[in-house]
A = this chain, B = another copy of it.
Amino acid sequence: MDWSSIPSLASLRAFEALARHGSLSAAARELNVTHAAISQHLRALEADFGLTLARRDGQGMQLTEDGHELAAALGEGFARISDGVAALRDRARTRPVVVALTPSFAEAWLMPRMGGFWAAHPDVEVRLVPGVNLMDLRRDGVDVAIRFGGGSWPGVQAEPLALSAFVVVAAPGFTKARGMQDLARLSALDWFFSGASVEQRVWGQAVGVDFDAIGAREMANNGLVVSAVRAGLGLSIQAKALVEPDLASGQLIALHEGDAAGLGYYIVTRPDALSPGARLFVRWLRRRAKPA
């Protein structure tokens, strides 16, 4: 495409509007500018082409044949562009919001609350992508991630959703059955953990324990870990925010509680390009954050 021979697009747009309205003032109103702006564009075009495009005709303007020819081309061209833009906006509006999060958070925190979002925004489709690895938001097409950690990751924006202390939990009967209150006397085999639980790995690093290394019992995912603990088979370390309901109902009891120390769940987004649906979802998340 040889852009050098094409007059400024602003001029062409102005002329296209002029052609449709047949009057400088009307065109100016459509484009939210003054008539002087349109007049200048028209003069510039006529000087550039060396053609008269419109004759001044008392009230209003009359396109010449040359003017009509140009206007037709511009009308079609701009219409195609406008259609394409509109289609893309529509696509952006209806596109599912892709949310990456840790499996535990999805199960224990988000799913119980999702009903509220779906009720409020039935037209916004949300695709939850549970996963352990830190995904590259841009590369993997993720709109929003909920990550567990200290809140500082390079190249993304992060805001706290729910800072959370950790708790060591067990079934109410566990310590009684074992006849002990003393954590120090627990063996490695009493601990359950899951390599798939980002939260436990982060807490482990924070308190200086590598569950894998000390030979604790590993489960495939944190859901199994919690099941085992509920069954009175042992204990585990959990983000307090996630086991809140179990503690409240008495299904689990907290043996020890640790400091939040800035660790918790963060809403992580790309600095650029947040889709309309994603914007809604983030706003909804923020409102849920307070009570948690």
Interface residues of A (CB under 8 A from B): 1-7, 9-10, 12-13, 16-17, 20, 30-32, 43, 46-47, 49-52, 55-56, 66, 69-70, 72-74, 76-89, 91-92, 95, 138-139, 141, 272-276, 278-279
Contact = CB atoms under 8 A, between A and B. Distances in A.
- Chain B CB within 10 A, most for which of A7, A13, A85, A91: A85
B72 A272 contact: no
A92 B10 CA distance: 21
A31 B73 CA distance: 22
Contact of A17 (B1, B55, B72, B76): B1
Nearest to A81: B77
A78 B13 CA distance: 12
Q: Is the interface of A mostly helix, strand, loop or mixed?
A: helix
Contacts of A78: 1, 77, 81
Nearest to A56: B138
Contact of A85 (B6, B43, B56): B6
**How many copies of the chain does the oligomer comprise?**
2
A51 B91 contact: yes
Nearest to A91: B66
23 contacts: A1-B30, A1-B78, A1-B82, A2-B82, A3-B30, A9-B9, A9-B13, A12-B81, A46-B273, A47-B272, A50-B273, A50-B276, A50-B279, A51-B88, A51-B91, A51-B95, A55-B139, A69-B84, A70-B85, A72-B84, A73-B84, A74-B84, A80-B80
A273 B278 CA distance: 52
Contacts of A92: 49-51, 66
Contacts of A66: 88, 91-92
A52 B273 contact: yes
Contacts of A86: 5
Contact of A73 (B17, B74, B81): B81
Given A13-B9, A84-B77, A49 B138 contact: no
Contacts of A76: 80
A3 B9 contact: no
Nearest to A272: B47
Contacts of A10: 9
A258 to B, nearest CB: 39
Residue of A6, A46, A279 most packed against chain B (CB within 10 A): A6
A218 to B, nearest CB: 37
A210 B69 CA distance: 49
Nearest to A271: B47
B91 A69 contact: yes
Nearest to A86: B5
Contacts of A88: 49, 51, 66, 69-70, 73
A31 B141 CA distance: 30
